[in-house]
Structure 1
Amino acid sequence: MLSTRLVTNFDQIRSNWNILLNQTELNAIFFSVLWQETWWNHFGSKKAINIIEAFQGDDVVGIAPLMIEKSVLTFISSTDLVDYGNFIIRDNNREAYLSIWESMLDLEWDRCELWSLPANSPILEIYPKLAENYGFRVEVIKEDVVPRLQLPKTWDDYLDNLSKKKRHEIRRKIRKLESFGKVEFRELKESKLVKKEMDSFFDLHKSSSVEKSQFLNNKRRRFIEEVSVKFAENKMLNLSFLDIDSNTVAACLGFETRDSYFLYNSGYDPEFSDLSVGIVATLYAIKNAIIRQNKIFDFLRGGEFYKYQLGAEDQYIFRLNISRL
């Protein structure tokens, strides 16, 4: 069994976290200490950090970013703002998962909810059996879809990989928009520019649907703005806008890590919906991701129809519920 320690604030673990994450294949932004600490600063009141760190000798081989709220042990962050949850384990070290489990048992919780687990997470293989051996009640639920595109090397290859119908529709939408007026697709990456244009993004986001407008309350807005600027400072943000005749009509908020682009949120002006400006903006984002040699375009949580129009295929995330009661 490996040794473990319980960490109750980010200052104790920030350096080890960054080193370990770079030694794993996890590339989603949500696993970074930058994301989770920013979330904690906005939403962590009345919750307790219970991060478990696993060591092999002096080397950190695993981190379980956990918190407890009202006797529920769960990941730091929340499903309204985060699309993946997981432990950070080097080489999927099974001993690290087992040691972390033993440490979890020492914590004060009645229920453990590990949500948004990718289908290939070893947690889904290891923990249900361990929990059942203790007589705990176990539930594994298919939580949601996370449509994803495997990006080819060129834009032409992307179009060729689509069905004839989808390819025709995409070309038609782009031609229609570009014949309407002068089209410009702007990508902002510098933190000062991102901060300056976040209000424009939020306006488009809120105007595109009632659901998005209701989602974007003041607390979420402040968090999204801060985390976006911080990721821009670390060269991992891409805020893009689609303009027609100098009118900004659509936007995409994306994060880029390693070889993947994550479309975190988007918005458009409904007055231009007949031009499919939201879809075309996403197409331009896909095209530029291909140019930058990204291999994955991740649409993140939700099975919205437009994602499949653009060729995405479903991946799944799961929730593991463990009850001691």
Structure 2
Amino acid sequence: MKTMATAAAIEAFNNIDVYVEHSSGVPKQQPVFMLPRWMQAWRNVFSPDDQLHICVMKERGKSIGVAPLSIKGTTASFVGDPEICDCMDLAVVPGYEKQFYHALLDELAQSGVADLDLRCLRPESTVFSHLAESALDRWGMCSFEPDGVSVEMDLPRDWDQYLASLDGKQRHEIRRKFRRLYNEGEINFVVLENPAEIEREVDPFLKMFRESRSDKALFMSSKMETFFRSMTKAMSEEALIRLFILKVNEASVAACLCFDCQNTMYLYNSGYDTRYSSLSIGLLCKILSIKHSIEIGRKKYDFLKGAEPYKYHLGGREVRLSRCRISFR
């Protein structure tokens, strides 16, 4: 670890375990995919040999900015993979942006970084409003390009308001599907939050995930499974995971794994038993997770990356993601 003397000190961590130990007080603006234990799980499985450079700015002992970066050659990018990290960003406490980014660029220059490649940025990222300006002040070149889309929606106060917000055709379809489901027998919807309970359900979840679609089966390689197990354990211990399970006559037939963070429910992955696919159990499990999110007062439901039609049918709106490239060559 090294420290750079500025008005507020920047600490650059090159060891993920040391960073996790010293990460209390991370700014609340930190995206879920940039949280310390998520990054720890990802790095330990996929990239243990990358050169880490996690820059933390503190003032009077309080973290006011975090740049979770790794360095390859002279290029710095986020710790993580855009294929599994649906949005990434630098976290800065409002009012400290200019100070943080000037100090960060000083730190990176001293470390030999000539380029930044930042993926999956949301429109509200301070990369657009402050980092780009700081880079241009130093005669850097900055460009932005599309980097996929995410889909999300604001949640109303109650379930009836949510149904009323959908168009008539979708509302009718949802009600019809639920009637057909409840005609099958005993229906239960289980919400797991306890780490031990979640861990017990990881195997059934992975089985449904792989069997529900061929592309999901290819995606869930042995290395990805190792990451998934490590990540769910770590994030459930941080009280951030909600595992939703739909049961028909006591059989688990569909599941959604979500992150519950900063008043938002994030739908990260899902799966279902294909023997029950005629009952639309995959879709209905997602809808029930939305209903639960409304009932516990969450303000937003985030379907995360991808433009699958069902997200729009359920009320989602598109958020365009961007890639930022900055060069000082």
Distance 1:60 1:244, change over 3 A: closer
Separation (CA, whole Å) in 1 of partners of 2:21 and 2:65: 13
Separation (CA, whole Å) in 2 of partners of 1:128 and 1:231: 32
Q: How do residues 1-325 of structure 1 correspond to structure 2 at under 5 angstroms?
A: 2=7, 3-14=9-20, 16-21=22-27, 24-26=28-30, 28-56=31-59, 58-94=61-97, 95-325=99-329
* Coordinate RMSD, CA, aligned: 2.0
Displacement of 1:5 after TM fit?
3.1
Return 297-306 or 225-234, whichever deviates more.
225-234
Give the TM-score, by structure 1 length. Answer: 0.92
Return 63-72 or 259-268, whichever deviates more.
63-72
Contact 1:150 1:296 in 2 (8 A): yes
Separation (CA, whole Å) in 1 of partners of 2:249 and 2:60: 62
Contact 1:255 1:264 in 2 (8 A): yes
Task: Give the aligned residue type for 1:48.
Answer: Q
Contact 2:25 2:62 in 1 (8 A): no
Distance 1:240 1:292, change over 3 A: same
Contact 1:67 1:76 in 2 (8 A): yes
How many corresponding residue pairs? Answer: 322
Separation (CA, whole Å) in 2 of partners of 1:272 and 1:110: 53
Separation (CA, whole Å) in 1 of partners of 2:160 and 2:207: 33
1:120-158 deviations in Å (ceiling 9; x for gaps): 111122333443455544320121211112111111111
Give the TM-score, by structure 2 length. Answer: 0.91
Displacement of 1:287 after TM fit?
0.8
Task: Give the aligned residue type for 1:35.
Answer: W
Return 28-37 or 55-64, whichever deviates more.
55-64
Separation (CA, whole Å) in 2 of partners of 1:287 and 1:60: 35
Task: Give the aligned residue type for 1:158.
Answer: Y
Look up the SS of the partner of 1:253 in the other structure.
strand
Return 146-155 or 57-66, whichever deviates more.
57-66
Q: After the TM superposition, which parts of structure 1 deviate over 6 Å for at least 4 consecutive aligned residues? A: none
Task: Give the aligned residue type for 1:320.
Answer: C
Look up the SS of the partner of 1:186 in the other structure.
strand
Separation (CA, whole Å) in 2 of partners of 1:223 and 1:275: 31
Separation (CA, whole Å) in 1 of partners of 2:215 and 2:177: 25
Contact 1:117 1:317 in 2 (8 A): yes
Contact 2:41 2:227 in 1 (8 A): yes
Return 53-62 or 39-48, whichever deviates more.
53-62
Look up the SS of the partner of 2:245 in the other structure.
strand
Contact 2:211 2:217 in 1 (8 A): yes
Contact 2:29 2:91 in 1 (8 A): no
Separation (CA, whole Å) in 2 of partners of 1:145 and 1:183: 34
**Identity rate, percent:** 27
Separation (CA, whole Å) in 1 of partners of 2:210 and 2:220: 7
Contact 2:75 2:115 in 1 (8 A): yes
Look up the SS of the partner of 2:176 in the other structure.
helix
Look up the SS of the partner of 1:303 in the other structure.
coil
Look up the SS of the partner of 1:19 in the other structure.
coil
